[in-house]
Amino acid sequence: MAPPVNIIVGSHVWVEDPKEAWVGGEVSRINGEEVHVQTKNGKTVVTHISKVFPEDTEAPPGGVDDMTKLSYLHEPGVLHNLAARYELNEIYTYTGNILIAVNPFQRLPHMYDTHMMEQYKGAGFGELSPHVFAIADVAYRAMINEGKSNSILVSGESGAGKTETTKMLMRYLAYLGGRSGVEGRTVEQQVLESNPVLEAFGNAKTVRNNNSSRFGKFVEIQFDKSGRISGAAIRTYLLERSRVCQVSDPERNYHCFYLLCAAPPEDREKFKLGNPKEYHYLNQSSCYVLDGIDDSEEYAATRRAMDVVGISDEEQDAIFMVVAAILHLGNVEFAKGEEIDSSVIKDEKSRFHLSTTAELLKCDPKSLEDALIKRVMVTPEEVITRTLDPASALASRDALAKTVYSRLFDWLVEKINFSIGQDPNSKSLIGVLDIYGFESFKFNSFEQFCINFTNEKLQQHFNQHVFKMEQEEYTKEEINWSYIEFVDNQDVLDLIEKKPGGVISLLDEACMFPKSTHETFAQKLYQTFKNHKRFIKPKLSRTSFTISHYAGEVTYLADQFIDKNKDYVIAEHQDLLTASKCPFVAGLFPPLPEESSKSSKFSSIGSRFKLQLQSLMETLSSTEPHYIRCVKPNNVLKPAIFENFNIIQQLRCGGVLEAIRISCAGYPTRRTFYEFLNRFGVLAPDVLEGNCDDKVACQMILDKMGLAGYQIGKTKVFLRAGQMAELDAKRAEVLGNAARTIQRQIRTHMARKEFIAVRKAAIQLQSYVRGISSREIFEKLRQEAAAVKIQKYLWRYIARKSYLRVRLSAVTLQTGLRAMTARNEFRFRKQTKAAILLQAHLRCHIAYSYYRSLQKAAIVTQCGWRRRVARRELRNLKMAARETGALKEAKDKLEKRVEELTYRVQLEKRLRTDLEEEKAQEAAKFQEALHAMQIQLEEANARAIREREAAQKAIEDAPPLIKETPVLIQDTEKIDSLSAEVESLKTMLLSERQAAEEARKACIDAEARNAELTRQLEDAGRKVDQLQESVQRLEEKLSSTESENQVLRQQALTMSPKALSSRPKTVIIQRTPENGNIVNGESKVTSDLSLSISSAREPESEEKPQKSLNEKQQENQELLIKCITQDLGFFGGRPIAACVIYKCLLHWRSFEVERTGIFDRVIQTVASAIEVQDNNDTLAYWLSNTSTLLLLLQHTLKASGAASLTPQRRRTSSASLFGRMSQGLRASPQSAGLSFLNGRGGLGRLDDLRQVEAKYPALLFKQQLTAFLEKIYGMIRDNLKKEISPVLGLCIQAPRTSRASLLKGRAQANAVAQQALIAHWQSIVKSLDNYLKIMKANYVPPFLVRKVFTQIFSFINVQLFNSLLLRRECCSFSNGEFVKAGLAELEQWCYGASEEYAGSAWDELKHIRQAVGFLVIHQKPKKTLNEITKELCPVLSIQQLYRISTMYWDDKYGTHSVSSDVISSMRIMMTEDSNNAVSSSFLLDDDSSIPFSVDDISKTMEQVDITDIEPPPLIREHSGFGFLLPRLE
């Protein structure tokens, strides 16, 4: 990263920050080499100009998916880009062809489902968003195409997601290779199932990670010649053996030791184990327990994993027995012996552990002791046995422990590989390397030295690959790169591994000398490398040294280098364990060749490490490498936390920044000609106005700016480091001048606007003051007028008030007098009225008392009579209720019951009729009686009036005193008699009314009973219908079963020649005038057997006409097949071929025979006609014919259910009421089918259609025809998909406009560009028009046409929408406008095609329409989540909206996407959906199913009239097809 140039005041830059690593800011002042920066967090930072890096203010807010596209490729730019993408859950980013994967620490299942795999399958690298599937796909394609093995190097510290990334790689490779493993487990599952075992024995806690891999794992996925997975293998490298014996605080030893110490009590007792603090190999560190980890549960999980891998219980016990033996062996200590340089077991505790070790390893304790403290030296003269001093004995003990553990680990790997299964014949493989990353702690020892040596080797391999990729890019663009220097770390590797004189060589040399110490070793290093630029001697230490690695300087403590490096191969150890009585232990140490077992040989871990590393590098060099760098964003392992310093350190250790240095050594900035002109065209507008091509225009701009050292390739401009900043500075200057010009004009405009506003305000103020003065004068005049008016009204008020007072007094006096008179009159009238009222009430009481006594007597009489009638009715109802139980009888009694119910209904109807008649008669009688009573009453009243008048007249004529009393008595008697007569008439009338009311109630009760019986009859009828339907279904099922059995029997007969010769042959007798009396459409079927029987009794002359009839029938079938192979065309929009086939089959009664070959020949004809799948005209022709023929069959054929029953049963059913009802029900759809198909009346004609009892061949023919209809439909649909698929890829992204359209005033160029943009959409419309024209010409039913275009538009919706979500360059504003214009073309096509053919096709584009609508709306940050989900995009899911929102970028106006609050809300909702197991895939599926059924065809297709179809010329004149000719009425 070269120091920046052209940093000026106002430049946006990055500066170092102690909290955030890098922070953005703006340069406020420059003093020589000092730069003052105002940061975004409000601080002012003063730093050197070399430590300031330019910031790209025009970078997309969501970052770029490939960091080589960054305008400024430096450390802060890379960090900011990763942070911006991580915030949007974009965890993958490219750096060239290197993939950086940031662990999201949350589930993102939508990124790894099958839909996503399908999208990346075969896609070009970089075409879709960065993904681990893209790396795997590139490796797989390279292996298939070039035949060379590939490797994928996954690196990163523990917790960065290496295992998950490896899992996804293997999942995708398994998806491409498609091989299932043993017992239903895939290769990926088998490899991952071995992880717990390898982690238990190969992982340990380090300073930084609780589960750090202390070995390298290379997973080989093997493929056969066809590219299918054939096996897998796990290779392990560089196990850290020294950790078994030496552990630094606060680290831990390998997990298996602690797991075994936390095993169940019975296991610990068996291995004689206790607390981990008791063992020397574990108590060197104070850390025994990991936070959040239960070692006892991990022990059980490891046991289960061993079971899954295939390790038996005996082998598991042996494994843990060896682990326990190593722990006990570490507690064996030695003391000085009696002799010089000898040693003995220190104490009884040590001897106990020695005995326990021998017991666990099943070897002799004495032999074990001798192997630890004695050595045998073989000379030519004699064999010498010598003892070791305590220090040498301890070294011998540790060497044995390391050797046993290493052999145990190798055995586990071999066992796992055997469980997975390998392919020895595999020639191609894809390897996935998962290895520990660079380590730099506060205290670094021999383990860190070996690990960093490994990473230096891998980094050199990585650098060579990156430089190779750079060279390929330069060669591809045909630019000169010969002077670019390769950034190499060979000097560091020479410092470590060079022979002689390297660090490892000097360490081995020190280990071979007994008197060497770590101080002498350090002094040797200081002397040897004092002038080496990569080696640094610390000032305050005598045993430390510093090496400058690619990732930074690391200081190593040499204190334990010698002890940890020693790794003697001791013959005594080998002989001891080979002789073990435990087969497992003896198997770990097979016998060595005789020459190698005579003496002990020195071996060092460093040398062994170097050899294994060399083997790994040879394996990697033989493959094509691909790199994935996994990054852990934070140490708390939680989502949405991005720790900058942590990320920077991992990028350095992962070599990503080293790769950036390599790019910076060449041409770090690369821009296509379009991008370069679009960004820097403002530097030379005259160049854009010229007619030169883009390459020459770029050259002219660069020359005008005076740059040197750049290169112009075939498609890109390559700029050296710093040149981009220089161009941006000049561009900023040009834009600044333009901005100042704009500001000057704006300020002029604003000043004039302000003057006009002030002038307007002054005028308004003057008007306001004048208005106030005028209003004051007016107010004064108004007050004077008001005072005069008030006086006038006051005087009038006083006068009127005096007048009203006088008038009120007069009126009050008059009112009092009148009230007194009125009260007197009222009092008199009230008294008179009270007397009259008293008389009236008394008379009323007397009459009412008499009436109540009569009424009570009548009611008592009525109640008695009604009680008697009700008891009789109750008995009748109970009897009727017992009779209704007969409805639940069995099926045999059901028919009889129905007849009884029918009879009862008729009886009830008659009763109801009689009752109504009686009721009418009674009502008439009542009316007559009432009328007579009314007449009598009127006469009595008239007579009483006449008598009263006569009496009154007599009273008036009589003398006053003498005749007064008798007359009164006589009148009173007459009145009483008349009143009694009236009362009797009223009583009679009341009784008649009561009788009428009772009759009415009885009528209502009868009607209720009739309604109940009617309801019961209807229920019984419904039950009858249900039983009838059930019986009918059973009959049809039995019929189809019998038909199938019969067909199977016939097929079985055809298997043998004898059966074939004796098979009955069906003969169909045509309907002719001679045999035209065939009843009910039953065909005359004669078998060969019946012919042979009749031939003995009938003359031979009768057999010849039958034979000629069969030949004639065969000839007619041949002629029909020959006819339909031709294109017969259409008659009145109806397909002739379908109608001819149907009429022939119906006339020959082929539907009703048990065996015929005509159906198979028709199907074969259709199959041969559609063999050419690309001929859409032929396909549409047969689609029309098959759909029409299927429609005719659907309305003609019916299952032969009743026909398959026995004749006796059919006759019984038909004779019963149930049978008659079922026949009536079956007859109705038949008649409907007749009217639907031909629409003509009359019987006995050939053209009259009928429903026939179809046999099995006819039903099978219908099924085959349905299958061919669906096949032809699918072929037409798929052909249209294939035709528009290549164009859809061009329709999703708008082609970049030409340079001419960047200038203003180029209307013609814009019109040409717009025409080019819409050309792809017009090609799709052209294809749609072509297919619609073909289907219309072949009269394909509109229903099928609608289905075709509905599925095609759904396919367009899926392809466009998925491409939009997978390619960030498509989620732009201008691209949204382009796609929206294309969708308008499709909408116009739908409108032109009419709803009859397009149907709801336009609605199928709802996803892409709403997505595009979201892209082109303005002011997205102001939209709330509710508005987006409810109004703008109700169809899109939260995952889809989140994807579009985070990928959106505005390349036209520079606007932003939705607000961060909306993004956060979407992320929360996605997390909730993920927790609730809701599918989170944001991609759509293409539905390729058949979207209709046979019933849909029969319901939606129009009627087909086959009566007037003209037969083809080929069969028109043939005598056997005369029935096809239309008949005249």
Residues with a catalytic annotation lie at: 158-159, 163, 209, 212-213, 437, 439
**3-class secondary structure per residue, 1129-1140:** CEECCEEHHHHH
Q: In this structure, what token pair is assigned to residue 113? A: 């489902």
Residues near 287 by Cβ (< 8 Å), separated by ≥ 6? 205, 249, 250, 251, 252
For residue 696, which amino acid is it?
V
CA distance 227 to 694: 43
Q: If you count them, how many residues does the chain have? A: 1529
Nearest by Cα to 1471 from 1499, 1442, 1514, 1500 = 1442
Q: In this structure, what token pair is assigned to residue 1116? A: 């007619």
Interior angle at CA 613, CA 610 and CA 616, nearest 5: 155
Q: Helix (H, G, I), strand (E, B), or coil: what is residue 1306? A: coil
Nearest by Cα to 142 from 212, 223, 47 = 223
CA distance 845 to 843: 5
DSSP H/E element including 868: helix 723-884
Q: In this structure, what token pair is assigned to residue 1073? A: 């005038």
> Are 619 and 459 in contact, with CB atoms under 8 Å apart?
no
CA distance 582 to 408: 14
To the nearest 10 degrees (0 to 180), the angle between helices 348-361 and 365-373 is 110
Strand partners, 555: 546
Task: Specify the DSSP class assigned to residue 72.
Answer: S
Residue 48: phi and psi, rounded to 5, are -75, 150
Nearest by Cα to 100 from 28, 22, 156, 164 = 156
Residues near 631 by Cβ (< 8 Å), separated by ≥ 6? 82, 100, 101, 102, 103, 156, 160, 647, 650, 651, 654
**Sheet architecture: strand order including 21-31:** 44-48, 34-39, 21-31, 12-17, 53-54
> Are 1202 and 1251 in contact, with CB atoms under 8 Å apart?
no
Residue 1502: phi and psi, rounded to 5, are -75, 165
Interior angle at CA 215, CA 210 and CA 216, nearest 5: 120
CA distance 1449 to 1441: 14
CA distance 66 to 59: 12
Q: How many CB atoms lie within 10 A of CB 67?
A: 23
Q: In this structure, what token pair is assigned to residue 1014? A: 């009617």
Q: How many CA atoms lie within 13 A of 727 on its CB side?
A: 29
What's the Rg (C-alpha) of the chain? 54
Residue 31: phi and psi, rounded to 5, are -120, 95
CA distance 1247 to 771: 101
Q: In this structure, what token pair is assigned to residue 615? A: 């083997």
**Block residue for tokens 């596209």:** 69
Q: In this structure, what token pair is assigned to residue 72? A: 């400024």
Residues near 1002 by Cβ (< 8 Å), separated by ≥ 6? 869
Nearest by Cα to 125 from 137, 110, 140, 112 = 137
Q: In this structure, what token pair is assigned to residue 11? A: 């430049």
